[in-house]
Structure 1
């Protein structure tokens, strides 16, 4: 059994998708980041960076004590190795998938995240920041579109943790002021991944875990997520 510490964010969705794809037994421990639960001592013992997602694997492959992990990219790699799926075991194919996983972690996620922040949550509309991150998001969409014009999936010919990592950051494309029609190969891939049963199941969790997703953020949530802004 794997405990998933989760909230309904793109990074949270990565792990729920992976667990569903791999058909691993898991239970969800909701961490309501809008109410500050990410700062609870019990959660910090698992995720010292006070960010979701995190997991505790109670049956790790080495047979040792339960293993706690944070950082979504590391969790995806661990789960792929555990189940023997969605990441080649060795060779150049493995590193190609991992490079695209790290591209998402270091590029698409942070840039799209800043896009969301300055476009929707910042207390002052700073046009320079908004334009900068919208443009950078568009550039990254272009990189992805070019990649998907050459390969069926982000990591190559097979669906992998690279696709699982990237997909949740494309879901809010409208909030990022993007249009998928400008990126036809990205659009083709996006619609294909969206129809996978595991992806649909993972996103259905929103209704039970956070039915208020998409509702305007209140001041309490702003304080917990953005400090004293």
Structure 2
């Protein structure tokens, strides 16, 4: 018998922070949200470090399972599916091959796309000193990874089993923000571009993107002044935190 979920999500706006809320919304799992104020260093407070010793968002606490904490977005996604995806909407349970394929793409995002775009975000947006070598290196790696996705999506709507799964849900929040990570256009990846547009139309995913604060990615793309304002804010934060 599946326990009725009672979950608190600790997160903030952003590409990585939106992954668990997308999973929760797609699975229809009720949850509460605590917005972690990163610029106030709330993620380093003792109470939060008990939930995530690494001092990063996102994290969850499953109160229905003795206040069990889970940190790291990939671990959270798999945990939620293993415990509450009874209809196998996002993660197959009874087909070992399909399950493995989904998990392979989830790890592909966690080990490739996420780190590559995270590094690029820093060098393109958050570091006040622009270093062309670092920016170009990150962009080239992102494009290489996008090429892998684009080829794998040839003749398919989604990455595994031709249906929306965790494989798609975990990469989408990062890839949709390609311009923010230094890859202005993805016209050279038509399958990937169509895939983004397809997922853009999913109401649950869009709802998840706007947790706990309204998603800003579209606004940043359409309004360079807003993007520049955010960049300066984050540059000030990182300058103070990293002493750069």
TM-score (norm 1): 0.90
For the Cα contact (< 8 Å) 1:47–1:54, is it kept in 2? yes
2:70 is paired with a residue whose SS is strand
Question: Is residue 2:146 matched to residue 1:146?
Answer: no
Show the counterpart of 1:167.
Answer: 172
Deviation for aligned residue 1:35 = 1.8
Alpha carbons 2:125, 2:231 under 8 Å: kept = no
Q: 1:195 aligns with which of 195, 201, 215?
A: 201
Aligned pairs for 1:79-228 (under 5 A) are 79-84=80-85, 85=88, 86-90=90-94, 91-175=96-180, 176-205=182-211, 206-207=213-214, 214=227, 215-218=230-233, 221-223=237-239, 227-228=242-243
Distance 1:14-1:133 versus aligned 2 partners, 3 A rule: same
Structure 1 distance, partners of 2:184, 2:149, is 13
User: Equivalent residues in 2 for 1:19-34 (5 A)?
Assistant: 19-34=24-39
Would you identify which runs of 4 or more consecutive aligned residues in structure 1 move more than 4 Å?
A: 211-214
Gaps of 5+ in 2: 1-5, 221-225
* Structure 2 counterparts to residues 52-91 of structure 1, below 5 A: 52-60=57-65, 65-84=66-85, 85=88, 86-90=90-94, 91=96
CA displacement 1:179-210 (0-9 Å, x = unmatched)? 1221111011100101101112122332399x
User: Taking structure 1 as reference, are residues 208 and 96 closer, same or farther at Cα in structure 2, changes over 3 Å only?
Assistant: closer
2 CA distance for matches of 1:136 and 1:77? 26
The answer to whether the 8 A contact 1:3-1:56 is kept is yes
Residue number in structure 1 paired with 2:3: none
The count of residues paired between Structure 1 and Structure 2 equals 223
The farther-off stretch of 2-11 and 116-125 is: 116-125
What are structure 1's unaligned runs of at least 5 residues? Answer: none
**How far did residue 13 of structure 1 move?**
0.5
Whether 2:51 is the aligned partner of 1:50: answer: no
Report the Cα distance in structure 2 between the residues aligned to 1:134 and 1:216, rounded to whole angstroms. 18
Q: TM-score, normalising length from structure 2?
A: 0.85
- SS of 1:38's equivalent in the other structure is helix
Is the 8 Å Cα contact of residues 38 and 52 (structure 1) preserved in structure 2?
yes
Q: Distance in 2 between matches of 1:177 and 1:10?
A: 15
Contact persistence 1:34–1:220 (CA under 8 A): no
